[in-house]
Amino acid sequence: MSSQEGPRPDKMFPVSWDQFHRDSRALAWRLNGAGPFEAIVAITRGGLVAAAIVARELGVRVIDTVGVASYNHQDRGEIRILKHVSEDVLKLGGEGGGGLLIVDDLVDTGKTARVVREMMPKAHFATVYAKPMGRPLVDSFITEVSQDTWIFFPWDTGLSFQPPIRDGAA
């Protein structure tokens, strides 16, 4: 999930491209002994970048996606599956997906994670960032942030001048 569910909180956590790359490589390092993984399933869209980095680091060549939508940057809605994982990839993972690695950028409330976990109950589920409500649904993550923190991912932001804190910046 590249956005978080709910209203925008006061706590902000901006993540640069460099930081996201470092954190995704740290996730790969943590996952290195958890495999072997036959394939990676990236949760689109936020999981795509992390999945590419993890796949490179772990030498996994088969990558598929699952597309799940539940909200945009302002509104929450019902979970909709936009794209399923291919049957070929599910077969690679074996019964229940045990040889699969699911990768996402963030687990927030866990709504998306629950739906994807039901599709591949034995897959290893990894996220770069985790919030407390969703953390129990993933097997591996790198950084935990509070539930009321809004993560600004590098693909959601642009470079711009930021006034000094003393001048009233948040």
Q: Extract the tokens encoding 12.
A: 């902000």
For residue 148, indicate whether it is catalytic. no
* 23 a catalytic residue: no
The answer, yes or no, to whether the previous bond of 45 is cis (omega within 30 of 0) is yes
**Active-site residue among 18, 64, 108, 167?**
108
Active-site option among 105, 148, 156, 167: 105
Phi, psi values for residue 126, rounded to 5°: -130, 140
Which residue is catalytic, options 64, 104, 139, 167?
104
Find, among 126, 130, 102, the residue nearest to 116 by Cα: 102
- For the chain, the residue count is 170
Do the beta carbons of residue 101 and residue 95 sit within 8 Å? no
Is the N-terminal amide bond of 36 cis, ω within 30° of 0?
yes
Active site residue 10: no
Strands (E), 72-138: 76-83, 100-107, 124-130
Cβ atoms of 112 and 79 within 8 Å: the answer is yes
Q: Which residues are catalytic?
A: 104-105, 108
